[in-house]
């Protein structure tokens, strides 16, 4: 009897994980989104790697990027560039939709329907973004560019040789937008 309860419990937990839906919030509206991907930063920054999520809206989508920052005066700002595996480059303009919460800078970039279509069929390879700092030392603030690769960090441990060392962003975006 105990084994049956254990097996049913494991099945239910697995089933709930597969059917769980992720959301991001813009103001008081919520949007369905992919899992969060922890891309590997190609340079050292004080606090670690950026987190990337793509969400679905009625006119296309959003790309949300966040990174822990050491000071409130640091934030993700400026143009964000998405480089796809097939060589396509998508430039996202900063529309000022950002937040600072729990020592994390968050910025939301808008994606068009055609940009989403490109991302559905080619994996995100790299992202280029800027961290802006204005702590009173600089007259106008300072932008520092960073790139992050679609590569699961070295802390990602897998016992399955079929596991990939990158995130299947194209597959997740395809599934999100073709529901």
Q: For tokens 């975006």, what's the residue?
A: 173
Contacts of 9 (CB under 8 A, 6+ apart): none
Q: Give CA–CA dist 69/94, Å, rounded.
A: 18
HSE (side-chain half, CA atoms, 13 Å) at 10: 5
The pLDDT of residue 6: 36
- ∠ CA 65-148-171 to the nearest 5 degrees? 70
The pLDDT of residue 137: 63
Q: Give CA–CA dist 131/78, Å, rounded.
A: 8
Q: Structure pTM?
A: 0.83
Where along the chain do its domains lie? 22-177
The pLDDT of residue 138: 59
22-177 is a CATH 1.20.120 domain: no
Q: Give CA–CA dist 113/146, Å, rounded.
A: 26
Q: Coil, strand, or helix at residue 128?
A: strand
**Mean pLDDT in consecutive groups of 10 residues from the start of the chain, 179 residues:** 42 43 91 97 85 96 95 93 98 96 96 98 98 76 93 64 85 93
The pLDDT of residue 9: 39
The pLDDT of residue 125: 98
Q: Give CA–CA dist 67/64, Å, rounded.
A: 10
HSE (side-chain half, CA atoms, 13 Å) at 120: 17
């Amino acid at each position: 009897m105990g084994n049956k309860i254990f097996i049913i419990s494991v099945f239910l937990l697995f089933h709930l994980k597969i059917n769980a839906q992720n959301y991001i919030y813009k103001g008081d509206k919520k949007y369905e989104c992919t899992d969060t991907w922890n891309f590997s930063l190609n340079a050292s920054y004080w606090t670690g790697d950026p987190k990337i999520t793509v969400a679905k809206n009625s006119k296309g989508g959003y790309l949300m990027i966040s990174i822990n920052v050491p000071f409130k005066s640091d934030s993700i700002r400026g143009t964000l560039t998405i480089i796809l595996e097939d060589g396509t480059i998508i430039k996202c303009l900063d529309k000022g939709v950002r937040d600072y919460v729990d020592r994390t800078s968050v910025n939301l970039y808008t994606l068009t329907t055609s940009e989403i279509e490109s991302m559905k069929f080619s994996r995100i390879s790299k992202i280029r973004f800027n961290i802006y700092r204005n702590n009173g030392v600089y007259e106008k603030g300072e932008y520092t560019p960073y790139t992050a690769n679609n590569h699961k960090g070295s802390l990602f441990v897998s016992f399955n040789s079929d596991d990939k060392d990158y995130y299947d962003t194209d597959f997740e975006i395809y599934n999100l937008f073709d529901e």
